[in-house]
Amino acid sequence: CYWCHVMDREVFENDSIAGLMNEYVVSIKVDREERPDVDRVYMAALAGMTGSGGWPMSMFLTPDLKPFFGATYIPPVQKYGRAGFPDILTRIHEIWVTDRRQILEYGERVRGYLEQASAVDTDRTKPTALALERGFDSFSRSYDTTHAGFGGAPKFPRPVAFNFLLRYYSKSGEKAALEMNLETLRRMYHGGMYDHLGGGFHRYSTDATWQVPHFEKMLYDQAQLAVSYLEAYQITHEDFYSNVVRDVLRYVDREMTHPDGPFYSAQDAESALDPMNPDSKKEGAFYTWTKTEIDATLSPMESRVFDERFGVQTDGNARVDPHGEFKGLNILHIARTSEEVASRLNLSKRKVEELITSSKKKLFERRAMRPLPHLDDKVLVSWNGLMVSAFARAHQVLGNDSYLQSAERAAAFILDKMYDERGKTLVRRYRDGEAKYEGHLEDYAFFTQGLIDLYEASLDIRWLQRALELTERQIELFVDDRGGGFYDISGSDKSILVRTKESYDGAEPSGNSIAILNLLRLAEMTDSDRYRELASRSLLYFGERMLTTPQGLAQFLVALDFSLSKPKQIIIAGKADDPHTARLLKEVHTRFMPNKIILLADGGKGQETLASYIPFLRSVSMQGGQSTAYICENYACKLPTSDVGTVAQILDGEITPQGRILR
């Protein structure tokens, strides 16, 4: 958040302004990532007051926490057409002293607005495939046919959009849905949005061409985008996409992982220019280069190749520089393919790629000597849940055991340090040995999703048992029995003015959309009509919004797609560590089949646990002493097979051997 840093320096670190604040108000600085409930309520108030919102959010409250004045960035003195912070503070103080009733009455009106805005919507519209079609149409209309992505600058990656479009393609065969997705993923990686030396995606692009990023790196972006590229790989089988996944996960493992296993939250966009002056911070200082620095680090031939490949220019290459921070600096982006560089420099492609690899290694090592961006080392359950999913699913598709180990270590840490066994509740944040703040819907939903993915990757029943346990607690704490859907908070903290029910799938999916998808997946894994009914009522609650604003509810459309499909139940009879089990599942994971569940009938505790929900699973067994696949829809299963080729043919619809109904 560029303006957050600016306001910190200009306003809150200004002794004169700080003195006024201490005299006139009680100042509370809230980390929106620790307390999204606080942020959500007052952001709604700000949008109601001003017609827009954003961060930094500056909100003035009455003693009983009712908002009466709000703004985003407020400068230290009047400029940019905005009043200065001291002027606003002084004026508010004057009104508070001379006409307090005016403020109290306005605060009460805003509270009433918030209650009305969060009231249960009585309209119910059953969502149908029409919502999926409207979602595709909406994304098609906003697609940038020149530079890819959706809308204009600034351009944010929205993995929920990729989730939906790939499923729409899978369901309908609509090639445009696939191409919009793939081209956007390609452009994002090729641009300055991606860290071409260290891996990982920056927060967003300030321009329409993906070249000039806001350099912050967020855990939730790495987690979701790793899955986006992974799913693109499952469809295309192009190494480009799997290589991006590996690079992102390598970055997370190296720089965003706590020694005990969980994942940190973010790295700042700013860092110090001078190691001797840590306050000399500047946006992108860690990531940008002068031509002179590059030439001093690389050999002459490496420099020539590197400059051609990454668009390096003597006077800098930033096409957009709204704050004048990148003059003379280069933001690395892929300007030419290896083949184009080879042709321009009369070299072989192999030689070019060798020189690119050696150059990146040297510059990465040189960059490591710079002052590092600040690491936000808090551990959030919600974002860790997303990252657990990414590592677990990468293990399924790419077969790297270290990915599974990373997912399991993070999940085990959360259950050990951030989960109260007695109360069956999650704590939202962990930092420096302290676990704090009540878990919210998104914590339960995202972590449950991670546990479901971890079960399907490891086939260890304990992860599924935990997912079911957390789902039951989530229902107790958050469900709206009257209207449908889930509240974002439990309601135990009475200082929060209203209980909201988030429906927007933005940079992160909403807690509701993931909670609904979890219910649908678990319903298939346990044959639970109760979970199906809860999911159906929740989809009904959000149905009208899915039809009228589908692009804003992209992950809800993913859940809707699952609910409208006939999910495959893929049951493997065998041991989790049997190589033949792995061979059978490899056939599953090489294909993009989003609407499926995987169960293991292991002949032991896992099978007995599953059979307590689905009794027929007691009869599922290996055939001929080999791990055996049962591929089912609505628990009507094809005849079992241990042959990998037959599994592939069944999945591809090439053969439909006589089946039996086991349900």
Q: Does an H or E element contain 68, and which?
A: strand 67-71
Say whether pLDDT at 661 is over 50: no
Rg (CA), the chain: 26
Q: How far apart are CA 555 and CA 449, in angstroms?
A: 13
Q: How confident is the model at residue 266 (pLDDT cuts 50, 70, 90)?
A: very high
For residue 81, the model assigns a pLDDT of 84
Sign, Cα dihedral of 345, 348, 349, 353: negative
Helices (H), 118-199: 129-142, 159-172, 175-190
* Domain 2-117 identical in fold to domain 130-157+235-264+377-564: no
Bond prior to 157 in cis (omega within 30° of 0): no
Cα–Cα nearest to 229, from 284, 280, 290, 162 = 162
Q: How far apart are CA 95 and CA 101, in angstroms?
A: 9
Tokens of 326: 């990148």
Tokens of 13: 């670190």
CATH number of 568-661: 3.40.30
Say whether pLDDT at 655 is over 90: no
Residues near 424 by beta carbon (within 8 Å), at least 6 away in sequence: 469, 470, 472, 473
Q: Torsion-angle region of residue 626: left (phi > 0), alpha (psi -120 to 50) or beta?
A: beta
- At 617-628, the pLDDT tens digits run 999 999 999 999
- On whether the CB atoms of residues 273 and 281 are closer than 8 A, the answer is yes
- At 537-568, the pLDDT tens digits run 999 999 999 999 999 999 999 999 999 999 99
Chain centroid, CA 640 distance in Å? 37
Residues near 48 by beta carbon (within 8 Å), at least 6 away in sequence: 110, 113, 114, 117
The Cβ-side half-sphere exposure at 451, using a 13 Å CA radius, reads 28
> Hey, is 125 helix, strand or coil?
coil
Say whether pLDDT at 119 is over 90: no
For residue 662, the model assigns a pLDDT of 44
pLDDT mean across residues, the chain = 95
- At 169-208, the pLDDT tens digits run 999 999 999 999 999 999 999 999 999 999 999 999 999 9
Class of domain 130-157+235-264+377-564: mainly alpha
Residue tagged 């595709």 (tokens): 136
Q: What are phi and psi of 487, to 5 degrees?
A: -75, 155
For residue 3, the model assigns a pLDDT of 82
- At 561-610, the pLDDT tens digits run 999 999 999 999 999 999 999 999 999 999 999 999 999 999 999 999 99
Segments making up each domain of the chain, as ranges:
2-117, 130-157+235-264+377-564, 270-372, 568-661
- At 428-478, the pLDDT tens digits run 999 999 999 999 999 999 999 999 999 999 999 999 999 999 999 999 999
CATH number of 2-117: 3.40.30.10
